[in-house]
Amino acid sequence: MASGSGPESVSDYIKHHLEHNTLELVEGSAFWSINLDSLFYTLLTAVLYLWFFIRVARKAKSGVPGKMQNFVELIIGFVDGQVKDSFKFNSKYVPAMGLSIFVWVFLMNFMDLLPVDLLPAFGMLFGIEYMRVVPSADPNITLGMSFAVFLLIIYFSLVKKSPGGYLKELLTHPFEAEGMVAKVVLVIPNLLLNIVETLAKPISLALRLFGNLYAGELIFILIAAFTLGVGFDAMLSYFASVGGILTLIGQFFVGFLWAVFHILVITLQAFIFMMLSVVYLNMAHEGQH
């Protein structure tokens, strides 16, 4: 941490920032454990999203809208337009889901733009030794969200195509053939390919978001480690020389440039997660691939 009793080395600093505040439900088991920091910030961003949109909705007026109403209407209009282009069926749930995914994932990603040591240092005041504040850099969170999308895919596939129709699709696509014998022979490869394709959707959805945000988080930590990684007292020594001051200026400049670029990354990743979820649900509504 960036405090008077900072880590002994840059390596310790980086490891410290990549460690979760974990609650083990079964002692010694990494599987039966909960990352409390990821869970807390996931719920916090969800509450912020709901609070802000509900607040603006209650104050919305039909006349000249205020700045916040304009901002929210801009987001809703953008998401609604993207969903209509990708989802070809009538649904009152999918556009709302798309809006929630886009804003929620963006807010989780936005946590990566906060100073690396800000919230962890605040947590240290309350005896919290480890704290990671970017939920989307935790594969448990991204896999959990993509699993929810996966359940919706299965649900709509069964409802819109009927269980028999969905089973037929799994057994007869993508390879089609004439004749009973050929169809029976192709059942197994069709089923295997469809299982792989279906499972690949949530896994790729989760790992894409996790990989990009984990990399972004790590780069911010590496930039901070130039000076903060050796503790607050040592960082002050950089002001004692021209070279040290230039190092601090360079660190700020590099961090600023990466933050500006990362704004595009976090927005793009939220958009991709939303669009792929909508596209997958559109496929689940269709009669066949």
Active site residues: 204, 208, 212
Scored b (16 or more CB within 10 A) or e, 61-80 reads eeeeeeeeeeebeeeeeebe
Q: How far apart are CA 143 and CA 138, in angstroms?
A: 9
Q: How far apart are CA 284 and CA 280, in angstroms?
A: 6
**Dihedral sign, Cα of residue 31, residue 35, residue 36, residue 38:** negative
Q: How far apart are CA 110 and CA 210, in angstroms?
A: 14
CB 225 within 8 A of CB 10: yes
**Dihedral sign, Cα of residue 154, residue 157, residue 163, residue 169:** negative
Token pair listed for 108: 């989780």
CA separation (Å) from 233 to 61, 103, 236?
53, 39, 5
Bond into 135 cis (ω within 30): no
Query: Which runs of consecutive H residues, i.e. helices, occur in 225-241?
Result: 232-236
Q: How far apart are CA 165 and CA 189, in angstroms?
A: 18
